[in-house]
Amino acid sequence: MIYRILGLLLVCMLGMSGLSFGQDSEEEETKTDYTEAVILVNVWLDAMQKYDELPGVSAIALQDQEVIWKGAYGMANPDTGLEMSPNTICSICSISKLFTSIAIMNLYEDGELRLDDEIQDLLPEYDLPQQYELSGPITIRKLLTHSSGLPRENAWSHWTDPDLEFPTKEEILERLEEQQTLYPSSTYFQYSNLAMALLGYVVEEVSGQSFEDYVNTLILNPLDMEDTRPDMPEDLWGDQLAVGHSSETMEGVQERLPMFEPNGVTPAAGFSSTVEDLADFAAWQFRLYDAEEEEILHPATIKNMHNIHWMDSDFGTSWGLGFSVYKGPDDQKWVGHGGHCPGYKTTLMMNPETKMAYSVMINSSNPNPSKYARGIHSILSKAKSIEPAEEEMAEELAEYAGYYQGQVMRSTSYVGTWGDKLVRMGLPADNPGGFNTYRRVDKDHFVRIRDNGEDGESMRFIRNDDGEIVQMKYYDNYISNRVEL
């Protein structure tokens, strides 16, 4: 493993493109070199896939129009030994809602509907009883912001059906009359798959096209998102489409789940995609921020969708037009969506200000993909702090890079280069960006740099008779052996 990591480092340092960015040669000094940060991302996510027992995970990091890094670990199909890749397809479940929302906003731009139109005026089959006489209207805007008062789900128990049989559009509409509103409209945030499914039916009713044709023609084809579909490609299941797994049971097992066909739930939770395609989707949104002309949507429309249109009175939940809007890493505004369907968990996180975006896909219902997206961000966001080392020092520091494991408790650390310093990251790490940095005092002797810039404890390296580094000693007490993982 260490040779693969060090090999990647060498390739990057010899001039791999796409890891540093700037507008032109005059801004050379402002570019961020992500080479060493990318090495840490690889080390961390590779370790977390094993420690967290993920069947497989794929991830990508984007800065505006450039992919900084992408990678994958574990298995897309453990039964056949098929490895996960950035091109592996997963169900993206509720991220589907973003495509439905964009379709609605395109109809809005074309004057085909208004955000304050009531659902029953656009969808004749809508007959869900309103139990609150004084409720405000259930409008397109309220459906987009999950503040309509509709229940979370339709009347079918498809999420818990062992056969994963999802109802059709017709079946969902037929049983609307058996349900009723949960709250008065415009009272509370109530996440609703039913609301977003109904918006997909509105797209069909207003456009005169099938939902699939409209989304393909409007969004997926123009953005060349060839591996994104408003369905689950059954012919690719177990191959490019990863096999999904359940949450972990009390016996510690994540069971293989059958493939499902989303049917009438598609506008809310039926799309499948790859992290590479979702990076293209994020790049389009960042591109539109600075555009002077329409590309699928007008620039002002995507900005409006990314603004807060609903916030609960406790200030705990805020939502845009289809997008989750929240204070994320670094206390900045982030937008995006997560997804969880039987066998899969996914996320898409975007920062409109810095134009950084992350997507993670896991073929299991067990983990939290946002944990990994935030972890990747916590490492990459520190790359600007790297002070480059001179070539001779860089070669000397690279000698220390590798894995070290405790002699008794078997705790594992990774030591890597960070410009003219070393970093040490304990594994596993829930906050990988919290790694320690060390400056060299003399050969094989380093000290930790405290947050205030002062020196902390020592970290020393021990060599064998052949001059090879075989151990690391820190706090002048704890000894770890160098290992190959």
Q: Is residue 441 part of a domain?
A: yes
Q: Is residue 84 part of a domain?
A: no
Of 321, 337, 366, the position where a domain reaches its end is 366
Q: Is residue 313 part of a domain?
A: yes
What range defines the domain where residue 102 resides? Answer: 90-366
Q: Is residue 143 part of a domain?
A: yes
For residues 223 and 196, membership in a common domain is answered with yes
Q: Is residue 47 part of a domain?
A: yes
The per-residue pLDDT for range 345-401, each reduced to its tens digit, is 999 999 999 999 999 999 999 889 999 999 999 999 999 999 999 999 999 999 999
- When pLDDT is averaged across residues 238-263 and rounded to a whole number, the result is 94
For residues 362 and 404, membership in a common domain is answered with no
For residues 103 and 208, membership in a common domain is answered with yes
For residues 322 and 422, membership in a common domain is answered with no
Report the CATH number at residue 229.
3.40.710.10
Q: Residue 2: pLDDT above 60? A: no
For residues 40 and 94, membership in a common domain is answered with no
- When pLDDT is averaged across residues 22-41 and rounded to a whole number, the result is 74
For residues 324 and 417, membership in a common domain is answered with no
For residues 394 and 362, membership in a common domain is answered with no
Q: Residue 23: pLDDT above 60? A: no
The per-residue pLDDT for range 133-173, each reduced to its tens digit, is 999 999 999 999 999 999 999 999 988 888 889 999 999 99
For residues 360 and 412, membership in a common domain is answered with no
Average pLDDT in the chain: 93
- When pLDDT is averaged across residues 87-94 and rounded to a whole number, the result is 98
For residues 332 and 469, membership in a common domain is answered with no
For residues 154 and 249, membership in a common domain is answered with yes
- When pLDDT is averaged across residues 423-445 and rounded to a whole number, the result is 96
For residues 472 and 354, membership in a common domain is answered with no
Q: Is residue 79 part of a domain?
A: no
Of 336, 366, 396, the position where a domain reaches its end is 366
Domain count, the chain: 2
pTM of the model as a whole: 0.92
Report the CATH number at residue 6.
2.40.128.50
Which range is least confidently modeled, 7-11, 252-256, 456-460?
7-11
For residues 336 and 455, membership in a common domain is answered with no
Q: Is residue 265 part of a domain?
A: yes
Q: Is residue 138 part of a domain?
A: yes
- When pLDDT is averaged across residues 317-338 and rounded to a whole number, the result is 95
Contact 95, 339 (CB under 8 A): yes
